Amino acid sequence: MWAHYVFWFIIWGSVALMLFGIYQRYRLWKGGKPEVRTDHLWQRTMNFLRYAIAQLKIIRQRYPAFMHLFHFWAFTLLFLGTVFATLDADILPPLFGYKLLAGHRYLFYKLILDISAFFMVFGVLMAWYRRYVQKPEKLERDWRFALTTSLLILIGLSGLLVEGFHFAGIGNPSWGLWAPIGFALGHLFAGMSPQAIHNWHLGLWFFHFLCVGTLFATLPYTQLFHVFLAPVNIFFGSLDPHGAVVKPIENIEEAEILGVGRIQDFTWHDLFSFDACVECGRCQEVCPAYAVGDPLSPKKLILGLREFMTKHKDLLLNPPEEEFDEMGMPAGDGVALLGDDGISYDTIWACTTCQACMTECPVLIEHVPIITEMRQYATLMEGQLPDTLGNTLNLIERSGNPWGMSRQDRMKWAEGLDVPLISEKGEADILYWVGCAGAYDPRNQKVSRAVVKILQAAGVDFAVLGNDEQCCGDSARRGGNEWLFQTLAEANIEMLKQYKFNRILVQCPHGYNVFKKEYPQFGGKFEVVHHSQFITELLAMGKIKLNKDQSGKQFTFHDPCYLGRHNGVYEEPREAILSAGFSIVEMEKSRDKSMCCGGGGGRVWMEDKGEKRINYSRMDQVLETGAEGLGVACPFCMIMLNDAAGAKGVDESLEIKDIAEIVAEHLA
């Protein structure tokens, strides 16, 4: 009888400590700003099934995938098994006169727990091998990991041994085959005396539940906490379009706080996601900034925010009254999130917003929106942004383009092409949005001319805005100047609504993404198509025909982040290259695993002083393929990769062309 009370004390005492620890974290999450994350329940449920149950992001990596799946499912099933055992021991029989685990249900229960214990032990051994033998840089080896995994393996082994001594004590009945591992162990112990079997069974039973209790009590303070938090975070994950990096600041003219500069400026879900991080390092492993030694690790950023939240918990538990100094800056709390004591400015400005981190994150943490909101605060509240980016944003505000060139020169790229203006034509099937790079950058002007050549060859009814066109605002929003972005977006939407057209054609994935994913936030809903998609469409319809190239030249293709990962367009650019008669050799990092060129997130306008740069690293990957040509489909990629080719002295031997140029040169 005393063993029953010991069991009760250990389990319920440890659960009470666990719930107390969870409550302490809950109080911190509750201190964040309110945010609705309970809408579209069906879509959230489907995400939960895909990423929490099926774990589709985990299985992208073989060894870690099996290791994690063994851990996750084994721990989950053993946890549920403990819950069922507790219900059967203390709740169901006295209250309802009913036992859940009886008959065939009990046999199935034994089978599941027996197999789960084995795989949990096996998974822990795999984890130890990975951390202490393979030693990948992205994984930490601290006391929390050692404590958690040691407890898991002790729980698994002691549970199997308890089962083995139980079977040995009752004579190894035939139904014991439902617990094959414990049954096999029971035969090993069958030769011991009944008293020895009893003593070992009782001692191991006590030790097993002591380990279980320790695990429960310490769970809110170890990495195992994510087993509970990660599925919840997945359910509450963002349902916004993948390329929309941030929600608009509402009533921006009246808002006192712009962006996130204090821990209490985050939403409750942001704070929750910091604790939900599994610390797997997948985000860090694919981050282009981290790969070249820039001061950004998405993993360390999230863990740093978690640490800051814990260190300054009083700001969430007892929020200070809002006070502002004579400059309109928040005052009174004395704790800045950005700066030497928190997240460094260099960290947030190193991000290219490529979203490789978010693509790989198994629990759907939203690194890029978090970084963008901190950039908003740095830019709009503090003026702490890189000088070159600040100058570019000023040029956009004054001249409508990042080069600061005259609006009256916006159509010079089209001299001699007889390009119609929609203001004169009245309406058109296709409104061709040339973009700032296509209008002003000499290299990308050639791409614009190639697009027009294709449109004219296909007999497409198109027109352009001409000098009325201005920046779409991509660099402004990603550079943290949400006010400038909203100003540009609202002006562009109002202008576009004045004309009649069916689709907007763009050659810049950043413009494509803004029109498709972000202008709808301001009422600007247009059908938009990237030039790679439209060219492929023209080829499929037979409106243009190409002379196949006979040189045998191989191309490789660089997937732009804002075309590929953000919008899922991978095949169309490749089809355009293949249609011209070229073959394609893929880089190791391609499609949704493509490495950024380094120009996204406004970084194309920032001065990069490092000897190892993202575009240089990407060019090395291009050269490793041995391809003679490089296909691109983004003006920023064209700029960054041409710069890298020049720096590496391969600008003469490597032909870098936009897919529009490849097709235009082979028109029949």
| CA 332 – CA 324 distance, rounded (Å) | 8
Residues 580 and 652 grouped into a single domain: yes
- The domain boundary residue, chosen from 511, 540, 569: 540
Residues 357 and 456 grouped into a single domain: no
Alpha helices in 130-244 (DSSP H): 143-169, 180-189, 194-218, 226-235
Asked if residue 457 is part of any domain, the answer here is yes
Residues 169 and 133 grouped into a single domain: yes
| CA 231 – CA 223 distance, rounded (Å) | 14
Asked if residue 660 is part of any domain, the answer here is yes
Amino acid 2: pLDDT: 65
Residues 73 and 151 grouped into a single domain: yes
Residue 577 has pLDDT above 90, yes or no: yes
Could you give the number of structural domains in the chain?
Answer: 4
Q: How many alpha carbons lie under 13 Å from residue 187 in its C-beta half-sphere?
A: 9
Residues 24 and 107 grouped into a single domain: yes
| CA 569 – CA 488 distance, rounded (Å) | 26
Residues 171 and 277 grouped into a single domain: no
Residues 464 and 363 grouped into a single domain: no
Amino acid 331: pLDDT: 58
| pLDDT higher at 619 or 164 | 619
Q: Can you tell me which residue has the tokens 């310490």?
A: 218
Tokens of 58: 């985990």
Q: How many residues does the chain have?
A: 668
Q: Which domain holds residue 505?
A: 402-540
Is residue 324 very low, low, confident or very high in pLDDT (cuts 50, 70, 90)? low
Asked if residue 392 is part of any domain, the answer here is no
Residue 663 has pLDDT above 60, yes or no: yes
Residue 312 has pLDDT above 60, yes or no: yes
Residues 218 and 307 grouped into a single domain: no
Beta strands 655-658 and 629-632 are parallel
2 Cα distance to chain centroid:
51
Sheet holding 655-658, edge to edge: 583-584, 554-557, 629-632, 655-658
| CA 592 – CA 569 distance, rounded (Å) | 10
Asked if residue 233 is part of any domain, the answer here is no
Residues 620 and 513 grouped into a single domain: no
Q: For residue 222, how many other CB atoms are within 10 A of its CB?
A: 17
- The domain boundary residue, chosen from 203, 228, 253: 228
Secondary element (H or E) of residue 330: strand 330-331
Alpha helices in 377-441 (DSSP H): 387-399, 422-425, 436-440
b vs e for 507-536, b when ≥16 Cβ sit within 10 Å of the residue's Cβ?
bbbbbbbbbbbbbeeeebebebbbbbbbbb
Amino acid, single-letter form, for residue 239: L
CB of 443 closer than 8 Å to CB of 604: no
Alpha helices in 87-179 (DSSP H): 92-96, 104-129, 143-169
Query: Phi first, then psi: what are they for 667, rounded to 5°?
Result: -65, 135
Residues 377 and 419 grouped into a single domain: no
Residue 327 has pLDDT above 60, yes or no: no
Q: Can you tell me which residue has the tokens 């003679």?
A: 628
Is residue 107 very low, low, confident or very high in pLDDT (cuts 50, 70, 90)? confident
CATH number of the domain enclosing 210: 1.20.950
Q: Write the CA distances from 324 to 263, 332, 336, integer angstroms.
A: 17, 8, 14
- The domain boundary residue, chosen from 506, 540, 574: 540
Asked if residue 507 is part of any domain, the answer here is yes
| pLDDT higher at 312 or 1 | 312
Secondary element (H or E) of residue 429: strand 427-433
Amino acid 297: pLDDT: 95
Residues 415 and 359 grouped into a single domain: no
CATH number of the domain enclosing 530: 3.40.50
Asked if residue 487 is part of any domain, the answer here is yes
Amino acid 588: pLDDT: 93
CATH number of the domain enclosing 272: 1.10.1060.10
User: pTM of this prediction?
Assistant: 0.90
Residues 578 and 450 grouped into a single domain: no
Secondary element (H or E) of residue 660: helix 659-665
Is residue 93 very low, low, confident or very high in pLDDT (cuts 50, 70, 90)? low
Q: Can you tell me which residue has the tokens 């800051």?
A: 308
CB of 656 closer than 8 Å to CB of 555: no
460 Cβ neighbours under 8 A, 6+ residues apart: 429, 430, 538, 543
**Ramachandran region of residue 277, left (φ > 0), alpha (ψ -120 to 50) or beta?**
beta
